[in-house]
Structure 1
């Protein structure tokens, strides 16, 4: 999984788009209220709070790879909730859960075969995986404009040979990987979701360009964001979401 830290405070402010998607995904996870649920990639805890409210007799475990996100989530969630920094590709909870929920996270992990094995291992028999992430075609149009800026002076030297950290998988490939990892009742589908963020430059810098900005000298980062925002104006991000529903066999 990518290891960069995130600007948690800004993400918490500008992530209404991801939060809205997550609420829709959460509607697919029917809960009785007494389960143990893993929020795999909890971010700042906005969606985790909603899950907590749906578990009056259950438990939430929230993990994220970003220390700043986890710090924000701990401040947001019930103090008794287990909130930890964890790499999903090496997930080892030490206990089994009834459901794994994940929103806008799994495309940051390069090896989906291993990822799905770890998520299956985290589930009790009969447990469900309900997730959404970036899928095949995600941000293709935006990335064309972004690449034109990144591969032009004065930024081109920072991106020579770099392909980025994303794994935008197809529904077909994801279905095969989930079945190979031992899941059943697998359903995967793509969903175009174009959006126009309310704060374009803040959204780009925090959500879309974080890995790029790590490669750009600090004194050029604001200029890079401005150039990308200008090249993509008026900003409409051509998101494509990969939806995942699957179950671990009961026996």
Structure 2
């Protein structure tokens, strides 16, 4: 079980939050009553859903006790947070908007979950999700190459490894389920401030399972070599370190029967 760190994750809160805003901009729900954020993390983005839809009841769900504990500071009369696993989560009644931001990539074979997630949305409602699509980039390629080194391979074998499909794959999946689908991709050029910026970014997300799998004797050497390789791949510039980050977006509206 990976232990997630809200403070590490929130170091780059603005950059991590931008895709969420861009995703929600394409959701056409006007006055939903129920909105759910699956994989809500530390909750600051979930709270924006209540501001976007002032009449909605908003629920954030996450499998990390640490994240849910952090998220409680954003809870109020309309926004609440609970511990739960999106693989088994089911609402008491179909919801109007179901959002998942940078979470599905951690579920192996998550495309098979799409019919069940869509079933949690009422006819005419919206399913919207965003997943990273940067797993071939140096940040990840260097991580997994080093993890496969004989010095670390035994410790890192079988750790969680995120993956995602292309926009066209998700479009086909959800169109076949009777949805109207808007799918696209964007590559952001995040300019990150401070030393070891890319390491600090990925240590809060994609590299965390690998780093936690290493023992206290292995981890310092691994981190030092990984930092060095990242610095060579992402050199610091005058304005900061540029991290190209591809993301995949999908917004699907469930078609009302008879239309």
Q: TM-score range, shorter-chain basis?
A: 0.7 to 0.9
In structure 2, the CA distance between the partners of 1:34 and 1:176, relative to structure 1 (3 Å rule), is closer
Q: Does 2:121 match 1:99? A: no
Structure 1: stretches of 5+ with no match in the other structure: none
Alignment TM-score, normalising by the size of structure 2: 0.84
Aligned to 2:237: none
Q: Does 2:217 match 1:242? A: no
Give, in whole Å, the separation in 2 of the partners of 1:228 and 1:183.
45
Structure 1 residue 134 displacement after superposition: 1.6
Aligned to 1:177: 173
Structure 1 residue 33 displacement after superposition: 4.2
Aligned to 2:201: 203
Q: Does 2:190 match 1:167? A: no
Structure 2 residue matching 1:165: 3-state secondary structure: coil
Structure 1 residue 221 displacement after superposition: 2.4
In structure 2, the CA distance between the partners of 1:139 and 1:67, relative to structure 1 (3 Å rule), is farther
Q: Does 2:188 match 1:193? A: yes
Task: Indicate the RMSD between aligned Cα atoms, in angstroms.
Answer: 2.3
Structure 1 residue 27 displacement after superposition: 1.6
Moved more, 15-24 or 191-200: 191-200
Provide runs of 4+ in structure 1 moved above 4 Å: none
Aligned to 1:36: 34
Count of aligned pairs between the two proteins: 246
Structure 1 residue 167 displacement after superposition: 2.1
Structure 2: stretches of 5+ with no match in the other structure: 235-241
Structure 1 residue 63 displacement after superposition: 0.7
Structure 2 residue matching 1:95: 3-state secondary structure: coil
In structure 2, the CA distance between the partners of 1:97 and 1:174, relative to structure 1 (3 Å rule), is same
In structure 2, the CA distance between the partners of 1:153 and 1:138, relative to structure 1 (3 Å rule), is closer
Greater fraction strand: 2
Give, in whole Å, the separation in 2 of the partners of 1:134 and 1:84.
24
Q: Does 2:147 match 1:141? A: no
Moved more, 86-95 or 213-222: 213-222
